[in-house]
Amino acid sequence: MTQVLLETHGLTVRFGGHVAVDAVSCAFHAGELTAIVGPNGAGKTTFFNLISGQIPASAGRVDLEGDDISRLSVSERCRRGLGRAFQLTNLFPGLSVLENVRLAIQAHRGAGRSLLTMADSHHALTTEAMAVLERVRLDRLRDQPVNALSHGNQRKLEVAMLIALDPRVYMFDEPTAGMSVDEAPVVLDLIAELKAERDRTILLVEHKMDVIRTLADRIIVLHNGALVADGEPGAVMASDVVQEAYMGKELADV
Amino acid sequence: MIMKLLSGDTPRSKILTLVLLAIFLCLALAPFLFPGVRSLDTAARIAIFIVLAASYDLLLGYTGVVSFAHTMFFGIGAYGVGLASQHMGRGYSALIVGSLSGALLAAALAFVIALFSLRVRAIFFAMITLAVASAVAVLVSQLSWLTGGEDGFTFRIPRELGPALRLGEFAGVKINGKLVNYYLIFTLSLILFLIMLRVVNSPFGRVLQAIRENDFRAEAIGYRVVWYRTVATCLSAAIAALAGSLFAIWLRYVGPDTTLSFAIMLDLLLMVVIGGMGTIYGAAIGATLLVLAQTYLQDLMGSAAAATEAIPLLSRLLDPDRWLLWLGVLFILSVYFFPTGIVGRLRAGK
Ligand SMILES: Nc1ncnc2c1ncn2[C@@H]1O[C@H](COP(=O)(O)OP(=O)(O)OP(=O)(O)O)[C@@H](O)[C@H]1O
Ligand SMILES: [Mg+2]
């Protein structure tokens, strides 16, 4: 098997008495796209929050490229190569489209600590940011303030911010939710391109079965916070546990 | 060249450019345009408060951190110069040592406050600064053997910076040490202002804006938010202290009322909010307006009250003692009509 980039060991979080993520142990490999599915409230986003560090785990551990990162801060995990796009769009609303991506590039290049140079004189950062914007077809909107963008374009920018970080592990949380039919392919094609690079790990939370079928190498199913199925897409979709636990009805529709 | 000096951050509005240019020219030529001790004093205050307000904007407007300790840092710089001059004897070395140690102490204190509070929550920082600033104010008034207590103390600065030095006349204006002193303050204020303009337009400054817009995401893309907030806090404190040193050099006096009082803290808040938060230029406009209002509004009201003596209620309202009331009204109106401050308004309506 290829190299393991990310691995969770018994990852658990409790909110009061409610176990939102329940002892999830799972390894993710380089070059693999794993779809994470499960009904609303299954704990998918919370699982991401534990991996990227927004929420401290009640128990368990996260390893990135073999190192335990459970005690590191969110920013430290990001600097180590863990990139995340959010389910609810989470941008710098008052700044321009270009500035949003530039900030991500700048973070990735470690250039944020310069106090007395002019930001606009760092042309390499701007060029790189424009290249990312072209990939999501937002280059023409570079000077628009983010809060003036349509929902679909904000979702694209959300993805652009993640790509700008050039991480080892990509975490997409329903990247196309609320996007129109003509907008979604831009993002999906991009994810396919990333996958083709083969040296990254991609985690994708997604509800749309057709998307999963075309992109995923593997599916894991969360139900009430627990990992109930894991495997190659065809097998997981057909398995009894999935049929009963969650997808029975939806699969019947397909 | 000018673009470089302004760090590429132009006023981006015709009227704003004119207003800023007018402020700059009036301050640069103040001794010749407005001769007289009082107007020179006003000009020096404006220059110093522009720096102080801009350093507060760096914190409030750019980083989104609310601090009530800004006048404390201002005071530390002022007392630094005062105490150094008193104990080292008059001289430039006392001024330099006093200013630098004031700035260092301010930055160190800001660092400690930031370390203890910013980790927790930004709002906690506001409360801590309030507590520390009150404690320091009490301390300064209690340690009267050192600080002169409530009365403060005067001290001597190099002769070349005082009215005793006479260099003759130019264009009908006496060229004396006070004038030299004014230009020293004007030049240093200008330099500090341009440095701040550079900082907010640097990669670091962009990160500060990102943190203000969405600290959660700033952290998520790899910026250590606490580090950035801490550095901004220390920098802002150090510059406030330097402004305080300039003020002390100008007044040749330090005391709690001129440097530490809570009233100045409120003024600062007004300057930044009226001018427009997060613009640096707003601080320049806000500071100019407020210092002018404080100096001349009372006079204006005095004459207005005298003119309307016959009308009972109006003359009462126009009594010079009511000037704070009118300032308050002005503040409410400006926040209501220009929520983004004067600069924001001008830029939007260009
Ligand atoms: N910070 C929190 N405090 C308390 N409960 C939480 C918190 N975060 C999540 N939860 C709970 O944990 C459970 C899992 O939520 P989560 O958002 O991870 O689900 P999800 O699988 O992402 O669902 P969706 O498909 O709707 O996005 C929910 O019951 C939610 O209410
Ligand atoms: Mg979710």
ipTM: 0.91
Q: The domain that contains A224 carries what CATH number? A: 3.40.50.300
Better pLDDT: B299 or B31: B31
Report the number of distinct structural domains present in chain A: 1
Classify residue A253: in a domain, yes or no. Answer: no
Classify residue A252: in a domain, yes or no. Answer: no
* Alpha-carbon distances, residue B287 vs B137, B138, B272, B273, B282 (angstroms): 23, 27, 8, 10, 8
CB A37 within 8 A of CB A221: yes
CA distance B205 to chain A (A): 7
> What are the φ and ψ backbone dihedral angles of B276, each rounded to 5 degrees?
125, 115
Task: Give the count of alpha carbons within 13 A of B43, CB side only.
Answer: 29
pLDDT in tens, B229-273: 999 999 999 999 999 999 999 999 999 988 888 889 988 998 999
pLDDT at B297: 79
Closest CA to B49 of B39, B38, B57: B57
Mutation test residue for ligand 1: of A13, A24, A45, the one with most atoms within 8 Å of CB = A45
pLDDT at A253: 45
**Gap from CA of B15 to ligand 2 centroid (Å):** 49
CB A123 within 8 A of CB A180: no
Q: Give the right CATH number for B2-349 from 1.20.120, 1.10.1200, 2.60.40, 1.10.3470.
A: 1.10.3470
pLDDT at A245: 58
Classify residue A61: in a domain, yes or no. Answer: yes
pLDDT at A247: 52
Q: What is the mean pLDDT of residues B33-49?
A: 94
pLDDT at B122: 67
User: Which residues have a Cβ under 8 Å from the Cβ of B56 and sit 6 or more positions away?
Assistant: B67, B70, B236, B240, B268, B269, B271, B272, B283
Enter the tokens of residue A8: 């969770």
Mutation test residue for ligand 1: of A24, A37, A46, A223, the one with most atoms within 8 Å of CB = A46
Sheet (strand A67-68) strand order: A18-29, A4-15, A59-64, A67-68
pLDDT at A251: 45
Q: Rounded distance, CA A176 to CA B209, Å?
A: 28
CB A213 within 8 A of CB A219: no
CA distance A92 to chain B (A): 5
**Which of B213, B221, B225 is opposite residue A94, by nearest beta carbon?**
B213
**Gap from CA of A225 to ligand 1 centroid (Å):** 9
Which of the 8 DSSP states describes residue A169?
E
CB B149 within 8 A of CB B141: yes
Q: What is the mean pLDDT of residues B90-95?
A: 93
Classify residue A182: in a domain, yes or no. Answer: yes
Q: A193 lies in which domain range?
A: 4-247
**Which of B203, B214, B216 is opposite residue A111, by nearest beta carbon?**
B203
Which stretches of chain A score pLDDT less than 70?
Answer: 1, 243-254
